[in-house]
Structure 1
Amino acid sequence: MILAPSTIDLFAFGEESLLDLVSGQASPFFAYDLGAARERFRRLRAALPQRVRLAYAVKSNPGLPLLETFSAEGAWFDCASAGEVSTVLAAGGTGAGMVFAGPAKSERDLQAALFAGARVQVDGIEDVARLHTLHEGAEPLPVSVRVNPAQGVSEVATIIGGGGPSAFGVDEEVVEEFLTEAARYERVRISGVQVFAASNELDAGRLLANHRTALRIARHVQAVLGRELDLVDLGGGLGVRYDVTQPSLDVRTLGAGLGRVLEENAWFTGELLLEPGRWLSAPTGVYCARVVRTKDSRGERFVMLEGGINHLLRPLMTGQPFPTLALRPGVGVIGSAGSGAAGGALVRTTLAGPLCTSLDRLGTGDLPADLRPGDVVVFGQAGAYAATQAMTHFLSHPAPEQVWVG
């Protein structure tokens, strides 16, 4: 049996490659396809207007081989900690192609960003005041201000974007007061705007609406400052599907629409930045865990795996599981979403891990009824917000291996 055509984009590797991986690698483990990462970067780059720069959001997956791959493609990087700055520099990135964000930046974070030469995005007057003290250059330090939109935001699920009350940025309603206060700090110069208003959005139209909101805010900031901005950062939010019934984001539609948005905003002549993370990294990775045991409990089917939320926390946080398929070593794929099962019917199954807590659930989905110990469950879209977002040290189970291919 082979993967159904409708599900191929959910998993980084084909059936033969998956069989090779599970036969040669101790479970559980993550595997990533660097060739797929290159292809996705180039596809997105080709779809967007040429003046739009791509800054890979390191938070989605900070693996050094992945950062090296994107660096070789000419990517900028969106960092949110001193550790991410260090990893990007090790991967060949430079401060000239780096933005630095975060709602509670430590002094160590700010020093790392300044040392690298990154563009800092300030979230409040406290950031401005500390940068004023830390900056030792002869010229004022150019920074961007993150603005939390008052309205005009369109997204399905709020994770780190959206409107309403927020720990991030300066509320749009008080941005003029902020700019007036920031002007008192002569060694810091507000010259850019960042608006991050979506997370994992699959609708190009919603993303474009948010981009128009960002440019509307930027135009207002420029008018208040009385000088031209040199950078507008549109944030990220480019989504990937986790379910076979969901649509995929059409990046060509997004690119064409963004071109029209730029024509509508000819007033802005500076750098324009987009921060894709998940869209670039999620489809490059899979997580593989062997079945330890199965059971039926009061009408519910359970399959217990060697790994749980200590490796994949996202289903518990969001309520949305990763896509899965079942693999039998020496045989091949025996069931996947949208394709039925080779050995019989698919049944609703709750996936649980090895941890001594009822929170250890990796989601519920349709898997073969004859799934048995030794089979492997493969989780797709695991190249983002997976290995490094997990509760790795909980209960002291070993960390999973990470395998880089290509």
Structure 2
Amino acid sequence: MQHSKLPADDSPNPDALFDGVDLRRLAERIPTPFHAYSANAIRTRIAGLQQALHGFDALLCYAVKANSNLAILQLMAEAGVGADIVSSGELWRALHAGIPAQRIVFSGVGKTAAEIAEALAAGILRFNVESADELELLQRMAAELHVVAHAAVRINPDVDAQTHAKISTGKAENKFGVSIDEARRWFADSARQANVRLDGLHVHIGSQILSVEPFRLAFARVAAFWRELEAAGHAIASIDVGGGLGVRYRDGQVPIPPGDYAAAIREALAGFRGRLLLEPGRYLVAEAGVLLTRVVRVKHGERRRFLVLDAAMNDLLRPSLYDAWHDIVPLLDDARPPHRYDVVGPVCETGDTFAVERELPELHAGELVLIRTTGAYGAAMASTYNSRPLAAEVLLDRGRHAIVRRRQSLEDMVAGEQPARHWETA
């Protein structure tokens, strides 16, 4: 891993200064596009949430899918944060980053027998179970390994998270979790599962939530079910309230203060003496990341002016996938007249568009632009579409920088590919 410190600059453009590093000078060393993350911003978000939860027996389990870079996971491990995983690959990453298995929970609707076996062998904290079929598979795999698996049933509370349809997970029509009626039957029959200790509840209603009301409603439904189960003699050792806290992508979006979020939990779960689990992902890392890119050219069409960047949808998919807004900030030192641009990348798709009719200062080829709030679901969702190598990732920390993933070479990109020399029949 490369560590270095850039020379001091007394008067950088404030938009270019990120965790004490001048991004313009960094771009002289590292070819664009690249992702940059502020370690200090991530630590601050972790500490703020942990402080708000003071008094709970609470464990933050970072949603690895948001940004699975090993250096980011190491920051989580150093802060005492666990991991919420959805694949054996994420389990491998979390363990290799130093997150103990006892701080790992396994979510997701499609856990395979092999993945369950790996997680059981590692000794993870808990499985969030999402179907009767999965519960039976977990029992079978745990029996084969002669272990007892701790499990939580993922409740689908049929709550509208008031977010984008593709990141809503708590409505009845979504694929996640089971109804309270079905969960009630699981607990009634739990004695049949000798190798699964069903002693937890889990709820996660969606992502990028900016109002505390959907959380209050979901927590209230889970709390009512917890009290019903306790009255029926089913001890509940943990309640996992999921993640979903939103971040600021544009003006007017105000994230829920951690204190307000914690207050909603305290109100709903008053009297609960077990362990509280939380699964923040985007909230911890999104605003800690930027994508630095350079203008390739300005193209004047018949009706539009196109700002063509060297970053593309393969580097940041969210605008194409969700029509998501990201602030776009030119790193300029002088005032210039505004123009309206369609901000696009070089990928051969009309969908390779970061913004439409976005007002920006006049820009020219070679000038730097940063795209904000890309620390979550940026590099993690990247691809090599159009045979474009994966961009570098750089961690910044109080004036220093370290490359935490080098830019993929073409040789790296085709590793594992080969001509069809050895033909076989099934």
Normalising by structure 1, report the TM-score.
0.87
Report the Cα distance in structure 2 between the residues aligned to 1:110 and 1:12, rounded to whole angstroms: 44
Q: Does 1:232 align with 2:243?
A: no
Residue 2 of structure 1 deviates from its aligned partner by: 7.7
Aligned to 1:186: 194
Distance change in 2, residues 1:124/1:206 (3 Å): closer
**Aligned partners of 1:24, 1:3: CA distance in 2, in Å?**
18
Q: 2:220 aligns with which of 199, 212, 219?
A: 212
How far residue 91 of structure 1 moved from its aligned partner, in angstroms, is: 1.1
1:261 aligns with 2:268: yes
CA drift of 1:386 comes to 0.6
Aligned partners of 1:401 and 1:238: how far apart in 2?
27
Residue 350, structure 1, aligned to residue 345, structure 2: no
Q: Return the offset for 1:350.
A: 1.4
Is 1:273–2:280 an aligned residue pair? Answer: no
Shift of 1:262: 3.2
Alpha-carbon distance, 1:14 to partner: 6.3
Would the alpha carbon gap of residues 223 and 362 (structure 1) be closer, same or farther in structure 2, given more than 3 Å must change?
farther
Deviations 1:23-62 (A, max 9, x none): 2210111111112211211111112233132111111001
The answer to whether 1:374 aligns with 2:366 is yes
Distance 2:329 2:108 in 1: 36
Give the Cα separation in 2 of the matches to 1:47 and 1:3: 34
Alignment of 1:267-306 (within 5 A): 268-306=272-310
- State whether structure 2 residue 371 is matched by structure 1 residue 364: no
Kept in 1, the 8 Å contact 2:248–2:287? The answer is: no
1:111 is aligned, of 108, 117, 142, to 117
- 1:24 matched to 2:23: no
Superposed CA offset, 1:150-176 (max 9, x none): 3x5443334152212121111234323
User: Contact between 1:236 and 1:275, CA under 8 Å: does it hold in 2?
Assistant: yes
CA separation of 1:33/1:365 partners in 2, compared to 1, >3 Å: closer, same or farther?
farther
- CA drift of 1:294 comes to 1.2
Q: 1:254-278 CA distances to partner (integer Å, 9 max, x unpaired)? A: 2334333333xx1x21111111100
Distance 1:316 1:135 in 2: 42
Distance 1:155 1:213 in 2: 17
Contact 2:250 2:327 (8 Å CA) reproduced: yes
Calculate the aligned-residue CA RMSD, in Å: 2.3
- 8 Å Cα contact 1:49/1:255 also seen in 2: no
Match of 2:173 in 1: 165
> For 1:281-316, what per-residue CA distance to the aligned partner results, in whole angstroms no more than 9, with x for missing partners?
111111111111112323222111112111110111
Query: Quick one: which amino acid aligns to residue 184 of structure 2?
Result: E
1:107-163 C-alpha deviation (Å, 9 max, x unpaired) = 22212211221111111122122222211465642211111113x544333415221
- Structure 2: gaps (5+ residues): 1-10, 398-426
What is aligned with 1:396? 387
In structure 1, C-alpha distance between the alignment counterparts of 2:187 and 2:309, rounded to whole Å: 53
**Bigger shift: 373-382 or 45-54?**
45-54
TM-score (norm 2): 0.83
**CA–CA distance in structure 2, aligned partners of residues 216 and 319 of structure 1:** 37
Alpha-carbon distance in structure 2 between the residues aligned to 1:184 and 1:367? 63
Write the letter of the residue equivalent to 1:45: Q
CA distance in 2, matches of 1:14, 1:91: 23
For the 8 Å contact 1:12–1:285, the answer to whether it is kept is no
Contact kept? 2:208, 2:244, Cα under 8 Å: yes
Aligned amino acid, residue 177 of structure 1: R
The residue number in structure 2 matching 1:337 is: none
* Cα distance in 2, alignment partners of residues 139 and 23 from structure 1: 54
Distance in 2 of aligned mates of 1:22 and 1:213:
50
- Aligned residues: percent identity? 30
Structure 1 residue 203, shift from structure 2 partner? 2.0
Query: Is residue 61–residue 278 contact of structure 2 (8 Å, CA) maintained in 1?
Result: yes
Instruction: Give the Cα–Cα distance (whole angstroms) in 1 for the partners of residues 227 and 392 of structure 2.
Output: 47
CA distance in 2, matches of 1:19, 1:134: 53
Cα distance in structure 1, aligned partners of 2:116 and 2:365: 49
Instruction: Return 154-163 or 67-76, whichever deviates more.
Output: 154-163
Aligned-partner residue type, residue 265 of structure 2: L
Structure 2 vs 1, CA of residues 54 and 312 (structure 1 numbering), >3 Å: closer, same or farther? same
Conserved? CA contact 1:12–1:284, under 8 Å: no
Letter in structure 1 aligned against 2:180: E
Question: For the Cα contact (< 8 Å) 1:12–1:286, is it kept in 2?
Answer: no
1:146 aligns with 2:154: yes
Whole-Å separation in 2 of the counterparts to 1:177 and 1:258: 26
